[in-house]
C-alpha cells in the first residue's frame, strides 16, 4: 500500500515538469488526493456492490467506549448501552463495514445491524453472548448485548471505506494501538490500480492554476498552444 508521501511526491514531481512555482502545497495535494480517492472508489464500486474490493481501500479506526442510558435518535429505547466517544467518519456507499472488540472479554466480530433491528437485540436467550452495534444519526456507534459483561468493554475497532480518508487516519491505529504522527508517513488507502488515475486527476486540477498564458495579440491564432509546449524555464 502506498504512503501519503508517495502520492504527494508523484504529484509534485509531475508538476515540476511544467513549472517551478510554489502555488501548491503538500496539504493541498493531500486534500485533493482524499477527494479524488472518494470519487474513484464510488465510481468503481458503488454501482456494483458485488465487486470484490481489495483490502488496501479499507481503513481500521480505534474507538473508545463509554456507558450511556439512552440512544440518540431512539428516545423510546432505554437501558444500559456502550457508545463510542469519537464520531465515526462518514462511510462510503460501498464495501463491507466490520466492527471488532479489542477487549479481553470478547475477541470476536461484533454484529453491525440497522437502528430498527437494534431495538430488538439483547433479548434472545439463545444468543446471550453476541454483541450488536448500530450507527446513530450523530455518527456514534452504540453497543448492546444480553450478556451484561459487554459493559466492561473499553475499546472497539471499525474497518470500513471512509469518505474522508484523512479524517479516518486521525483515528487509525495499528494492531499494537500505535499510529504515525505525521500523515505523510501513514498508508494512503487506495488499491494500486487506482493510483495512476488518481495522480492524473490531481495534476490536471492543479496545473491550470500554475500557469495560464495570456494571448494579447488580436488575431485568429490564439498562440497558446505553442507557448504551452515551451519548457518552464523559457516561460518565466
Least confident of 42-56, 62-76, 208-222: 208-222
Query: pTM surpassing 0.85?
Result: no
Note the pLDDT tens digit of each residue in 2-45.
999 999 999 999 988 655 555 678 999 999 999 999 999 999 99
∠ CA(54), CA(134), CA(67), 5° rounding? 125
pLDDT at 115: 84
Q: Do 198 and 33 meet the contact criterion of CB atoms below 8 Å apart?
A: yes
Q: What's the average model confidence in pLDDT over 206-225?
A: 56
For residue 185, name the pLDDT band (cuts at 50, 70, 90): very high
Q: Work out the average pLDDT over 173-178.
A: 63
C-alpha cell at position 176? 499494537
Q: For residues 211 and 113, which has the higher predicted lDDT (pLDDT)?
A: 113
The proportion of the chain whose per-residue pLDDT surpasses 90, expressed as a percent, equals: 47
Higher-pLDDT residue of 230 and 20 is 20
Q: Where are the alpha helices (DSSP H) in 42-163?
A: 115-118
User: What value, to the nearest 5°, has the Cα angle with vertex 210 and ends 12 and 200?
Assistant: 50
* Contact in structure between 177 and 155 (CB atoms under 8 Å): no
Q: Give the three-class secondary structure for 137.
A: coil
CB 105 within 8 A of CB 153: yes
Q: What is the pLDDT of residues 100-122, one digit of tens each?
A: 887 666 667 899 998 888 877 76
pLDDT at site 108? 72
Amino acid at each position: 500500500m502506498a504512503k501519503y508521501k508517495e502520492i504527494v511526491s508523484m504529484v509534485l514531481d509531475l508538476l515540476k515538469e511544467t513549472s517551478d512555482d510554489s502555488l501548491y502545497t503538500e496539504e493541498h495535494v493531500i486534500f485533493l488526493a482524499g477527494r479524488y480517492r472518494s470519487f474513484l472508489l464510488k465510481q468503481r464500486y458503488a454501482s456494483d456492490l458485488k465487486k470484490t474490493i481489495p483490502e488496501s481501500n479499507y481503513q481500521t479506526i480505534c474507538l473508545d467506549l463509554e456507558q450511556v442510558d439512552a440512544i440518540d435518535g431512539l428516545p423510546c429505547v432505554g437501558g444500559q448501552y456502550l457508545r463510542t466517544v469519537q464520531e465515526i467518519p462518514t462511510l462510503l456507499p460501498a464495501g463491507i463495514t466490520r466492527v471488532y472488540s479489542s477487549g479481553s472479554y470478547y475477541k470476536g466480530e461484533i454484529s453491525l445491524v440497522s437502528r430498527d433491528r437494534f431495538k430488538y437485540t439483547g433479548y434472545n436467550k439463545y444468543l446471550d453472548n453476541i454483541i450488536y452495534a448500530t450507527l446513530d444519526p450523530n455518527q456514534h456507534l452504540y453497543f448492546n448485548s444480553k450478556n451484561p459483561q459487554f459493559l466492561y468493554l473499553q475499546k472497539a475497532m471499525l474497518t470500513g471505506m471512509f469518505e474522508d480518508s484523512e479524517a479516518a487516519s486521525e483515528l487509525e491505529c495499528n494492531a499494537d494501538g500505535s499510529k504515525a504522527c505525521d500523515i505523510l508517513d501513514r498508508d494512503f488507502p487506495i488499491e494500486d490500480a487506482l493510483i495512476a488515475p488518481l495522480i492524473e486527476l490531481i495534476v490536471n486540477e492543479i496545473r491550470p492554476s500554475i500557469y495560464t498564458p495570456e494571448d494579447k495579440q488580436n488575431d485568429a491564432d490564439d498562440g497558446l498552444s505553442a507557448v504551452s509546449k515551451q519548457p518552464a524555464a523559457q516561460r518565466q
